[in-house]
Chains A and B, each alone.
Chain A
Amino acid sequence: MKNNFIGSFGKFSIALTFLWLCFFAFLPFLLVFIASFLQRGSEDFLEFSFSLESYEKILNPIYLEVFLNSFELSLMTSIVTLILAFPFAYILSKLPQKLKAWALLLTIIPFWTSSLVRTYALVAILKTKGVLNGLLLYLGLIEKPLEIMYTGSAVIIGMVYTLLPFMILPLYASFEKLDFRLIEAARDLGANNFWILLKVILPLVMPGIVAGVILVFLPSLGMFFVPDLLGGAKDLIVGSFIRNQFLTFRDWPFGSVASVILTIFMLLLIFLYTKVQKRGGRVDENELL
């Protein structure tokens, strides 16, 4: 249906949504971009003179290392969540209908629960006198408590814990669409499990994998409260870096540069996602909610 007549109410709806998002989403993004080319002001936060200083500064190995460490942490988080979520989503999609509804509800609850509350809950488990150590000592598996808190591992555990539902749900949406008869056909034709996984299942659920990785990777770069609560001083992620530049050091142009890099990276990932979407079946964003 092509209908080009738009009544006044329709025009108003479009204008309202459009203007709101332009003014409070698009314009602010543009301002960050502009700010990244400005100088740090002595009185105000920004001085309006063009400079590439902040871009040069970020190439300093000290700052590059922050980025690399953060990307490494996010990559590790994505890999671990993918490994944990892949079989989970597969089994979930095979459950009988009634059980599936409950299982899905149990997966969605953490998805909706505050990640701060969940990260905080993890502290009680991981701390030296916490539940995990108590259990392991009781079972006699360890002799002295493990020091997990305030290490890099605690940060990874925290990220995996808070972001796991974000990987499970898009993967599940892909598995739901998977025609299991294809697997049977491959088996009848003599393929073993390994080849079925590699040549049949993986290509078909690829959109779900990419969607899941994006939903885990991107937030994990910014969630500064996870290393704040669980990690040591060394675990500076891009998010903590930006936060510090804006609120502690008051160097807005420098913080903006980091934010611009993050935005460019996000657009690249989204571009990759649309590519995969075109090849395979599309994971509907709506199904994530």
Chain B
Amino acid sequence: MKTNFYEKLYLGMIYLFLYLPIFVLIAYSFNNSKYSIEWKGFSLKWYESLFKNDSLIDAALNSLSIAFLSASAATLIGTMGAVALYRYHFKGKQFLRSMIYILILSPEIVMGISLLILFVLVGVKLGFFSLLIAHITFCLPFVVVTVLSRLSGFDRSIIEAAKDLGASGFYTFTHIILPSIAPAVVAGFLLSFTLSLDDVIISFFVSGVEFEILPVKIFSMVRLGVKPEINALCTIMFVLTIVIVWVSQFLMREKEV
């Protein structure tokens, strides 16, 4: 089917709408002037002042470690859960499935305050652990769904064959299933990593003052107005996201081959 000129124009305009603000932001991050929208020459000074800002660097490192740890844990639990959901029939399977889909759709704010109530009642101090638990929880359903989608093309008779040959459940998991779903597992990890790195709303409720993470910090800074260092920081985050998306798309595309 052919697309005509007007249809291409329409696509272009929507892409412009989606990307223009981001490109402007990137351009500003290299602009030598602080407030003006005029171009005052190329400069890296906002990146320099960004890297001299210790509290921002700390927040970035905290964010990266939370993102790495929560994505790893969510990927581990989520992959095991997805394989179990695919392989076995058990009581409460439907409940588990529904819980996973409802979690994906539920507004983040509801999850944020519900975890806040849990942490306060149980007595977990708001900080590293509360953030880690919250991030694992909201990443987990996305990993399960990503891995399940890959498993839907998996040949069940291979599992049967492995079992007939005497393989244990764990051996089948590590030697038969895992190698063939590896791209989805990595994609699930990358998705979790970006979700964790980007989350503002849930983190806003469950983070404390001693352990600041980037999105919450950025949020508190941008409420006070536009700052050129933030432009630089957002540019870095955007570039990082593009790389991660590209890698994960590359991995997921493989399944069609």
Q: Give complex CA distance A239, B215 in Å.
A: 17
Q: How many A-B residue pairs have CB under 8 A?
A: 266
Q: Are B116 and A92 in contact (CB under 8 A)?
A: no
Q: Are B241 and A109 in contact (CB under 8 A)?
A: yes
Interface residue A122 (Cβ < 8 Å from any Cβ of B): yes
Q: Are B200 and A116 in contact (CB under 8 A)?
A: yes
* From A123, A222, A256, A286, contact of B148 by CB (8 A): A286
Interface residue B223 (Cβ < 8 Å from any Cβ of A): yes
Report which residue of A84, A117, A122, A270 has the largest number of chain B beta carbons within 10 angstroms of its beta carbon. Answer: A117
Q: Are A13 and B114 in contact (CB under 8 A)?
A: no
Q: Are B226 and A105 in contact (CB under 8 A)?
A: no
Q: Are B24 and A131 in contact (CB under 8 A)?
A: yes
Q: Give complex CA distance A214, B105 in Å.
A: 8
- Contact flags A12-36 to B (C-beta < 8 A → 1, else 0): 1110111011001111110110010
CB nearest neighbor in A for B99? A21
* From A3, A118, A263, contact of B89 by CB (8 A): A3
- Within A242-289, which residues are at the interface with B (CB < 8 Å)? 242-243, 246-247, 252, 255-256, 259, 262-263, 266-267, 269-270, 284-287, 289
18 intermolecular pairs with C-beta atoms under 8 Å apart? A16-B77, A21-B137, A28-B118, A32-B113, A105-B245, A106-B15, A109-B242, A113-B238, A114-B234, A120-B25, A121-B21, A134-B37, A219-B108, A225-B219, A252-B117, A266-B107, A289-B146, A289-B187
List A residues at the B interface (Cβ < 8 Å). 1-4, 6-10, 12-14, 16-18, 20-21, 24-29, 31-32, 35, 45, 84, 87-88, 91-92, 94-95, 101, 103, 105-110, 112-118, 120-125, 127, 129-131, 134, 161, 164-165, 180, 214-215, 218-219, 221-225, 228-229, 238-239, 242-243, 246-247, 252, 255-256, 259, 262-263, 266-267, 269-270, 284-287, 289
